[in-house]
Structure formats: C-alpha cells, structure tokens
C-alpha cells in the first residue's frame, strides 16, 4: 500500500514543487512506483514533470469534484518515470466550489483509496496557503515533508505549519504527522545557513533528514525543459542529493 506524503510549507518559493518533482523522479529511479498529485492551480509540478497543463483532458479538479477517477485522470510522465495527477488554473475554481459540498475536505482521500495498491508512494505538491486544497492534501496523507531554507525566519514560519498539522491531526486525520524537515537551497558557505541548520537539528532532532539539497542552478533550469532535475541532469549535485533523499525516505519507511 502506498505511503502518502504532502510536500507542504505555507511560504511560497521555498522549494515545495522542486522537492515534489525531484523526489518523485528520485523514488522512481530507485525502483518505486510513484503518483505525484499536483494540488497547486499554478500547475508547476505538472509542467515540471513533462505534462502540459494546457492539454490536460482531466485533472485533479475533476477528481475533487467527483466527475473523474484517478485512474481516468492520471497520466504517465514517461521521461520522468511516474504518474501525474495534473493541475491547471481550473483548480482555482475548486476552492470555491468545494465549500458548498459535503465531505469537502475528504475528496482526495476518498479518490486515492482505490489506487493505493498500485503505488509505493503518493506525493502531493501543496499550494502555499492553508486552503481547502491543502486541507484535502493533509486529510489524505500519512505525513508531511517540509522543505525549508535555512534562513532567519524559517523557524518562525515552521511554528504556524506545526500548529496547522496539530489541528488537522486532532480534528480530521489521526494519522497525520511531520515525517521530516528537508533543508533545501542550502549554501554551506553562508554562516547563517549553517547556524539555522544546527538550530533545526537541536530543535527537531531526527525529524531533520540527513540529506541536504544544495542550491544548484541545474535544478532551477530543469523545469523549462519539462523535466525534473534528476532526469534533466542526473549528475548535477542537486540531482544526486534528491536521489540520496529518495533512498533515505525509502529506508525510513519501516520505522514510521
Ligand atoms: P514553491 O513550490 O515552494 O513555490 P519552487 O520549488 O517553485 O517553490 O522553487 C522556487 C524557485 O526556487 C524556483 O525558481 C526553483 O527553480 C528555485 N529552486 C528551488 N530549489 C532550488 C535549488 N535547490 N537550487 C536552486 N534553485 C532552486
Ligand atoms: Mg510550488
């Protein structure tokens, strides 16, 4: 049965989508069957996996509104090596439409149930807000992977996210927990980043993944080629770090 992880952080531009697509590709590379769910109307994870968001016949929008199943709507991103349940701007409307509906925060969870046997991992790329979309992600998941930059306000932002996760845990999803914090866009030459990294480790202990994702321009270039960095330039430092992270995650599964 698939493990379901949200990639979440309510800040924008912290590396959620980069983590989602490269972790998906890294897991695929080490032999795991992966479904990547794009829950952000920007559709960056969709495009970055090599699926054209403008050409989607069906998307996660149709799944949330129960007019399509995941089997019908997911597509195989061949070069990336995993399935994608894509998103585009239509999804922004779901936010409003869902409010009116029953079981509005359970839609994704219910849709995922029939496909869990077909995957080892389901990764959910969340938008940068606590919206009905993110709530659907958090209600579906076994845990949250939090990408974060080691910057001055990082810990502060984390408090909000931790509180949100506690609330969802208490009221909606008893399974939910933080799987781990992933240090991304890391530059070891910056003293402040080293300090924040040490702070993170002393606050959160082994909740901080050993893998560290460096700042690496190849990871930033890859989306314009419609590929995860891990596929676009497998030997780039950032790509190697994501494959290492994928291995670490697979190793941690039995202890979760
Ligand atoms: P989010 O999904 O949280 O908004 P993104 O993954 O889209 O964040 O990343 C924000 C920007 O930072 C993008 O332009 C992306 O290419 C770039 N970026 C992300 N991770 C790295 C990295 N490790 N090295 C260099 N650039 C990165
Ligand atoms: Mg994003």
pLDDT at 186: 98
CATH class of 3-255: alpha beta
Ligand nearest to the CA of 147: 1
Q: Which ligand is nearest to the CA of 10?
A: 1
> pLDDT band at residue 95, thresholds of 50, 70 and 90?
confident
Helical segments of the chain, H only: 16-29, 44-48, 60-64, 70-73, 90-99, 107-112, 132-140, 154-171, 191-204, 217-221, 229-232, 237-252
Lowest mean pLDDT among 7-11, 24-28, 58-62, 248-252: 7-11
- Ion ligand 2: residues, CB < 5 A: 16-17, 44
In Å, what is the CA distance from 84 to each residue of 176, 178, 199? 23, 24, 36
Alpha carbons 241 and 28: distance in angstroms, whole number: 15
**For residue 243, is pLDDT > 90?**
yes
Atom of ligand 1 nearest to the CA of 220: 16
Q: What is the pLDDT of residue 223?
A: 98
What is the whole-number distance in angstroms between the Cα of residue 36 and the centre of ligand 2? 13
The residue whose CA is least distant from atom 9 of ligand 1 is 15
The predicted structure's pLDDT at residue 159: 87
Give the mean pLDDT of the chain. 96
pLDDT at 129: 85
> How many angstroms separate the alpha carbon of residue 26 from the centre of ligand 1?
17
Distance CA 256, CA 42 (A): 32
The residue contributing the CA closest to ligand 1 atom 21 is 185
Ligand 1, atom nearest to 215 Cα: 24
Question: Tokens 């992880």 label which residue?
Answer: 5
- Asked whether residue 255 carries a pLDDT value surpassing 90, the answer given is no
pLDDT at position 220 over 90 = yes
- Lining residues, ligand 1, CB within 6 Å: 12-18, 44, 128, 184-185, 213, 215-216, 219-220, 238
Which phi and psi (to 5°) does residue 58 adopt? -135, 150
pLDDT at 242 over 90: yes
Distance 221 CA to ligand 1 centre (A): 10
Among candidate residues 145, 132, 173, the one with its CA nearest the CA of residue 252: 145
Report the nearest-CA residue for atom 13 of ligand 1: 220
Q: Quick: pLDDT tens for 119-169.
A: 999 999 999 988 999 999 999 999 999 999 999 887 887 888 899 999 999
> 21-80, pLDDT tens digit by residue?
999 999 999 999 999 999 999 999 999 999 999 999 999 999 999 999 999 999 999 999
Whole-structure pTM value: 0.97
């Amino acid at each position: 049965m698939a493990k379901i992880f949200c990639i979440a952080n309510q800040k924008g531009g912290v590396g959620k989508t980069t983590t989602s697509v490269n972790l998906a590709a890294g897991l695929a590379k080490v032999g795991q069957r992966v479904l990547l769910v794009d829950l952000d109307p920007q559709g960056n994870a969709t495009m970055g996996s090599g699926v054209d968001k403008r050409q989607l016949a069906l998307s996660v929008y149709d799944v949330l509104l129960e007019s399509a199943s995941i089997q019908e709507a997911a597509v195989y991103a061949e070069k990336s090596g995993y399935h994608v349940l894509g998103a585009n701007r239509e999804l922004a409307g779901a936010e409003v439409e869902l409010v009116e509906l029953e079981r509005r925060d359970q839609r994704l969870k219910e849709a995922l149930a029939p496909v869990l046997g077909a995957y080892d991992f389901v990764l959910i790329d969340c938008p940068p807000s606590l919206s009905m979309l993110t709530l659907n992600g958090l209600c579906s998941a076994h845990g949250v992977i939090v990408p974060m930059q080691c910057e001055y306000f990082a810990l502060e932002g984390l408090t909000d996210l931790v509180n949100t996760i506690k609330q969802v845990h208490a009221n909606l999803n008893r399974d939910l927990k933080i799987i781990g914090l992933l240090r991304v866009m890391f530059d070891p030459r910056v003293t402040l980043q080293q300090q924040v990294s040490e702070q993170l480790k002393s606050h959160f202990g082994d909740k901080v993944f050993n893998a560290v994702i460096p700042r690496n321009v190849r990871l930033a270039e890859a989306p314009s080629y419609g590929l995860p960095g891990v596929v676009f330039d497998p030997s780039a430092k950032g790509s190697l770090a994501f494959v290492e992270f994928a291995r670490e995650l697979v190793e941690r599964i039995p202890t979760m």
